[in-house]
Each structure stands twice: as C-alpha cells, then as structure tokens.
Chains A and B, each alone.
Chain A
Amino acid sequence: MNIVVCIKQVPDTTEVRIDAETNTLMREGVPSIINPYDMHAIEAGLQIRERTGGKVIVLTMGPPQAEAALRNALSMGADDAVLLTDSAFAGSDTWATAYALSKAVRKIGADIILCGKQAIDGDTAQVGPEMGEFLDIPHISYVRKIEEVHSGGIRVQRLMDDGYDIVESSLPVLLTVVKELNQPRLPSLKGKIAAKKAEIKKWGHSDIGAEPANIGLKGSPTLVKQIFAPEAKKDRKLLYGTVEEQVDALVQELRGLGCV
C-alpha cells in the first residue's frame, strides 16, 4: 500500500504575539515546525503501514528550507520524501497549492493520502478536500479514529459538532486528521541517522506536469488585499481598590446583569 502524507512547515504561531502599538507581529526567532496536525497524519501513515505493509512517502511544497520538515518526518520512520520547490509555486493560495500537490500525488501514486486537518498559520482546512476533488477521489475530513483499513477499503470515525460519524470509503481515499487520532512518536536514533543520509527528491513544476497558469500567484484565484490587527474591545469598565473591593464591585455588576 502506498501512503502519501502531505505536510507543511509552519512558524510556531503559539509563540507569536502582536505589538499593540505598531500592530505588527512580534515573532523574532520563532521556530519553524511541522504543522502539529500533520504530525498526527505522519503517525497515522506509519501505523497504517504497520498494519498493511507498504510505503510511507512524505510530500511538502515550500522553499528549499522545508527540507528540514521532511527530514524530521523521515526520522520518525517515513520511507521516502518529496519536496516540491520552485519559485513558480510561490504565492499559491489553497486552490493552486492543492492543484500542485495533486499533480505530485499522481506522479507518486497513492492508495491513501493523509493531511492534517488544517495548518496553524493559514487555518483554512481547504487544501485536503480540494486535493480530493483534483484527484477525483473521495475524502473524509476530521478523522479521529481509523477503525479498519485493508486493500478493499477503510472505515473511520469522523468528528462532528455533536458527536461523530462512522464513515466507510473505497480506496484510494484522502483523509484529513484531528489531534485525537493518535500520539505522534518521537524519532528513533536509527531513524535520525537514516534521515540524515536519505536522499530527498526535489521536483519543480515541469517535473509534475503542472500548468504554469495554474500555479503560484498567477494560478491563485484569491489574493491577500490587506493585513491588519484585530480590534480591541471598547466598553471597558475599571474596578478599583483591594481584591476584595474589586470582587464586591464585580458581584454588583453581575447582579445588574441578572446572573446573581
């Protein structure tokens, strides 16, 4: 079974704060990490391989530095890694990204494609399902448990607002996964050594047969027009005095609201 895991290298947004005076991000020295949801996708790929046999191939699109993310995934136990890197891809929105990744997946060949639910920098959750459409295969979002997997199909639990759905699908299929699915493993020493030596395939747009009109800024239907800081709340009331006095004042306010 060929399992392709799509990952993204992202800045660790949990370490980011906004400078209220200049309205800009304070993110000096913010480390680059594998998108946390993608870590669960990698783990899921490795566990499926343990059950069914086959190969786990990690795939990412990004600048040459994204190679570090792929080596991390290799150290966890992935068999192979592909980096889509080409200045022609730069500025891709979700549509153009999904298009390019799909072209690469077609070239690799896959029975199961795994993606994290969303990336923590863009938070769109769109690339996975869009790839499903481009590849003309079904997809299942928010997978929290893989109940069964074999060459004939897969049965998973899909997290919903009020519980979960049990969903079956034929293969090939694309899954986007949530955190509850598993606990990503740490790299082994052997894995780290192997990852260092591993050769990473680097493909440009012509290697995957991507139409130049469909990739990068040119191939992106959406564009970022403006970036600004979220608005602060206006109707603030101050409480004064000792903690006890402040609590008293707060209780009075809560009474006014009808909560006490």
Chain B
Amino acid sequence: MRIVVDAEKCTGCEACIESCPYTAIEMREGKAFINEYCQFCRACMSICPEGVIKEVLEVADTQASVSDIEGHRGIWVFAEQRNGKVAPVAYELLGAGRRLADERRTELCAVLFGGAKPEAEGLIHWGADRVYFSNARIFGIFNDEPYSQLLFLLIQEHRPEIVLAGATPIGRSFFPRVAARLGTGLTADCTALEIDMETGNLRQIRPAFGGNIMAAILCPHKRPQMATVRPRVMKRGVFDEEKKGEIIHVDAEGLLSRTKLVETVKEVSGMTVNIQDAEVIVSGGRGLGDPKGFNLLEELAGLLGGTVGASRGAVDAGWISYRHQVGQTGRTVCPKVYVACGISGAVQHIVGMQSSEVIIAINKNPEAPIFDVATYGIVGDVYEVVPLLIRKIKEIRGQQ
C-alpha cells in the first residue's frame, strides 16, 4: 500500500505539508510529493482541498515467493501458563486456531512449557490435535531466553505456517525474540485474524496510532506468520471431553537463561475485584474534574456489584492508580455493563472497552465520541446524573 499525490491535479497549495505528522510530504516542482517516510496515517487525505491524495494498492504486495513459504503447514498456538495454570487466553487462541486450521484443512497444535500433564490434556479437549509439551524445571517460572530458544527450535523443526500467542506480558516479551531469530514477521496485539484461502496469507487486524485506526498487516513472503492476539477478543472454542490428540514430550536440555527470576510478588489492588474479571465496571475520566468523583463512582459500582475503572486521562492526572486503567495502554475489558462517566471516548479508551455487552455513557458534551459506542447515553453532568442514579437504585432496593 502507498499514499500518492496525483501530480497532474495537485494545485500546489501546500495544505498537506503541515498536516503530515511524519514530515513526509515535500514540494517537488511546485507539486506535493510523498516521500519514503510516509507511515500511511492518511492525515493528508482528509486535508487536501482537491481530494487528489489517494491510497493505491500495489500488486506486488501479495505475491509470495514460493521457496520461502513452501512446506510450512499447520497452525500453532502457544499456551501460556503461570503458576502451572494455563492462561484463559490460550483457550481463546485455540478457538481462533481451530477455525483457521479447519479453513486451511490442516492440524492445530498447542505448545505448553511448564505446567502438568492434565493441563496439556485440557488443551486437546479445547481443540488441539497435538501438544508439544515440556515440564522441564526451567519452565516452572518465566524467563524469556529458554522460552524463545525452545520455541525457535520447535518451529524450525516442524515448520508451521502460523504461530499465535496471547498479547500478554509474557507473550509480548518473548515472541519478538523468536520472530527476530527466525527472520519472520510478527504482528502485535491483533484483534481479528482472517485467512486468504488462495495465498494462505493471514490478514492480521490490529489497532494502530493509539487505536485511532485499524491496520491490516500481512506477512506475505515469510513463514511462519506470527502474531500476538489481544486477550478476551477471540471466542473460546468448544470443550469436547471425547476429543483425542497426541502429547509429544519435548526435550529441553541445554537451555540457558542469563536472566534469573528471584521472586514473584502478588499485588492486590485497593479494589477487591480485578477489572478484567468484573461483570460491571463504572469508569471515570477527566470529566470528573476531581479525584473525589471516584468516591461517587465507587458507591455506584458497589450498588451494581462491580468495580471502578478509569480512563488514561484520570490515571495520568494521578486521581486513581494505573491498575484501574482501561484502554490501549491499560487493560482490555469486556464486562456485562460498562458505565463511562465523564469519559470523552478517545479511541485508545474505546478499543479497551468496546466489546462490553452494554455500554452506558454519561457526559456533558453531546458531541463526545463515547456516545458513538454507547448502548445508552445520557447527556448531563456526572455529579447530577450519578447521585440520581444511586438514589433511584436505592429506592428500588428499598421497595423490594
């Protein structure tokens, strides 16, 4: 893909020059020219008064050189465990991986480092045809180097076409090492995966530019195609007690780690409920104007049996701790009910909560983008609406 200026129609007004955040537009012979520093953000396209800046797809994009991708078959999922327990995202990856494997008419394999055999068997019931499993002591705790060394060796030997991991602290930390060593592409934090049947290319969809836009990424010339996938976005597969599969014990001898995990410290946040597990989240943003606003939100959250979240604005202002932050640089959540109070709805917030079942927005500004994703919206002052809401809920409770 490229962004180009139709030089014949360009009037040379220079409006686009200022619009480019990467300073990638220059004037050449009185016409705008987009140089090699373009990052495809398309800011210039909306600015051009003549509408002569266009996106062009290049045919060369999709042509794979057969030699590099030949012989790669199978979909792999890295099943992450912590303290011996497989992370929920692994089951979501198996759901997505099963669908891709069926479409490609190939097998689905899981990779499990650490944990015990029942966990490996569980991966089969959740959709894997085969599990590469090592319970070597070195995998009892997470260190980047042994994880990346062994996964690299397994991929090199078995040549899968796609390898997925959760976009968790662990997945996002060690997967890049594997991709770097394999000389293949890695796409971070995907929210959708689609396969092109003809080429076998994986269309990897992810938010970019702070979640303001979505990008479709391809890795057309190299295999495997690697991606980390955002937790709680993909649907879990079906658990089948009868499903049979093979567990292959992998030799993990000779792996080294130059980092050493000394201690793992659990931190319990002030709120009793982790926002990622909450059924109801009442979130506050900069619109609260004051850290005390969160006391009000806590009361509402308490009544609804939920917990309190926050936008990045409120966290950056120091009103509430980072653990409560919802959004791109915080947590991705999908509760039953999400109440956004005084949150304008910057897209980096929206990408972190838009998969909630019901979204309620309360904001003074009717133009706030949060209303675009809200199931119910109330235009009004949080300090008027929320106390009213609390009172009405208490009234109903009182009657019952």
Contact code string A214-236 (vs B, CB < 8 Å = 1, else 0): 00100011111111111011011
Q: Cβ of B61 < 8 Å from any Cβ of A? A: yes
User: Would you give the shortest CB distance from A164 to chain B, in whole angstroms?
Assistant: 5
Q: Is the CB of B47 within 8 A of A140?
A: no
Q: Cβ of B292 < 8 Å from any Cβ of A? A: no
User: Would you give the shortest CB distance from A224 to chain B, in whole angstroms?
Assistant: 5
- Bound form: Cα–Cα A137–B256 in Å: 12
Contacts of A133 in B (CB 8 A): 148, 176-178, 180-181
Closest residue on chain A to residue B3 by CB atoms: A227
Name A's interface SS: mixed
Q: Is the CB of B378 within 8 A of A243?
A: yes
The tally of residues in B whose CB lies under 8 Å from a CB in A reads 109
Q: Is the CB of A227 within 8 A of B214?
A: yes
- Bound form: Cα–Cα A161–B39 in Å: 32
Q: Cβ of A208 < 8 Å from any Cβ of B? A: no
Q: Cβ of A79 < 8 Å from any Cβ of B? A: no
Contacts of B185 in A (CB 8 A): 93, 95, 220-222
Question: A1-27: which have CB < 8 Å to B?
Answer: 11, 13-14, 16-20, 22, 24-27
Q: Cβ of B207 < 8 Å from any Cβ of A? A: yes
Q: Is the CB of A123 within 8 A of B208?
A: yes
Q: Is the CB of B21 within 8 A of A260?
A: no
Q: Is the CB of B218 within 8 A of A223?
A: yes
Contacts of A122 in B (CB 8 A): 188, 208
Contacts of A139 in B (CB 8 A): 144, 173, 177
- Bound form: Cα–Cα A107–B306 in Å: 54
Task: From the candidates A124, A125, A180, A250, name the one contacting B322 in the complex (CB within 8 A).
Answer: A180
Q: Is the CB of B373 within 8 A of A232?
A: yes
Question: B377-391: which have CB < 8 Å to A?
Answer: 377-378, 380, 384-385, 388-389
Closest residue on chain A to residue B369 by CB atoms: A17
User: Would you give the shortest CB distance from A212 to chain B, in whole angstroms?
Assistant: 14
- Bound form: Cα–Cα A36–B171 in Å: 23
Q: Cβ of B320 < 8 Å from any Cβ of A? A: no
- Bound form: Cα–Cα A239–B57 in Å: 43
Contacts of B61 in A (CB 8 A): 223, 225
- Bound form: Cα–Cα A166–B259 in Å: 10
B116-124, B155-163, B352-360: which one contacts chain A? B352-360
Q: Cβ of A182 < 8 Å from any Cβ of B? A: no
Q: Cβ of A50 < 8 Å from any Cβ of B? A: no
Q: Cβ of A248 < 8 Å from any Cβ of B? A: yes
- Bound form: Cα–Cα A26–B306 in Å: 36
Q: Is the CB of A16 within 8 A of B210?
A: yes
Closest residue on chain B to residue A27 by CB atoms: B43
Contacts of B173 in A (CB 8 A): 129, 139, 141-142
Q: Cβ of A106 < 8 Å from any Cβ of B? A: no
Q: Cβ of B347 < 8 Å from any Cβ of A? A: yes
Q: Cβ of B128 < 8 Å from any Cβ of A? A: no
Q: Cβ of A54 < 8 Å from any Cβ of B? A: no
Q: Is the CB of B176 within 8 A of A123?
A: no
Contacts of B46 in A (CB 8 A): 19, 22, 24-26
Assuming the A-B contacts A124-B189, A239-B378, A251-B392, are A260 and B304 also in contact, with contact meaning beta carbons closer than 8 angstroms in the complex? yes
Q: Is the CB of A130 within 8 A of B262?
A: no
The tally of residues in A whose CB lies under 8 Å from a CB in B reads 97
- Bound form: Cα–Cα A126–B175 in Å: 8
Contacts of A259 in B (CB 8 A): 280, 304-305, 336-337
Contact code string A35-71 (vs B, CB < 8 Å = 1, else 0): 0000000000000000000000000001101000000
Contacts of B216 in A (CB 8 A): 224-228
Contacts of A19 in B (CB 8 A): 46
Q: Is the CB of A166 within 8 A of B181?
A: no
Q: Cβ of B213 < 8 Å from any Cβ of A? A: yes
Contact code string B29-66 (vs A, CB < 8 Å = 1, else 0): 00000011101111101110000000101000100000
Question: A114-134: which have CB < 8 Å to B?
Answer: 120-134
Contacts of A152 in B (CB 8 A): none
Assuming the A-B contacts A130-B176, A168-B262, are A63 and B22 also in contact, with contact meaning beta carbons closer than 8 angstroms in the complex? yes
Q: Cβ of B18 < 8 Å from any Cβ of A? A: yes
Question: A59-98: which have CB < 8 Å to B?
Answer: 62-63, 65, 87, 90-91, 93-95, 98
Interface residues of B (CB under 8 A from A): 1, 18-19, 21-24, 35-37, 39-43, 45-47, 55, 57, 61, 82, 142, 144-145, 148, 168-169, 172-181, 183-189, 203, 207-222, 257-267, 274, 280, 303-305, 322, 328-329, 336-337, 346-348, 350-351, 354, 358-360, 369, 372-378, 380, 384-385, 388-389, 392-393, 396-397
Knowing that A27-B19, A121-B208 touch, tell me 17 more A-B residue pairs with CB under 8 angstroms.
Answer: A13-B210, A25-B209, A28-B19, A32-B23, A87-B36, A133-B181, A137-B258, A141-B172, A160-B169, A162-B266, A164-B267, A179-B322, A221-B183, A222-B217, A230-B213, A230-B354, A253-B358
Q: Could you show 22 A-B contacts with beta carbons less than 8 Å apart?
A: A20-B372, A29-B18, A62-B37, A94-B186, A123-B207, A123-B208, A129-B177, A138-B144, A138-B145, A139-B177, A162-B267, A166-B261, A221-B184, A222-B187, A225-B57, A230-B213, A233-B354, A239-B378, A246-B378, A250-B389, A253-B376, A254-B337
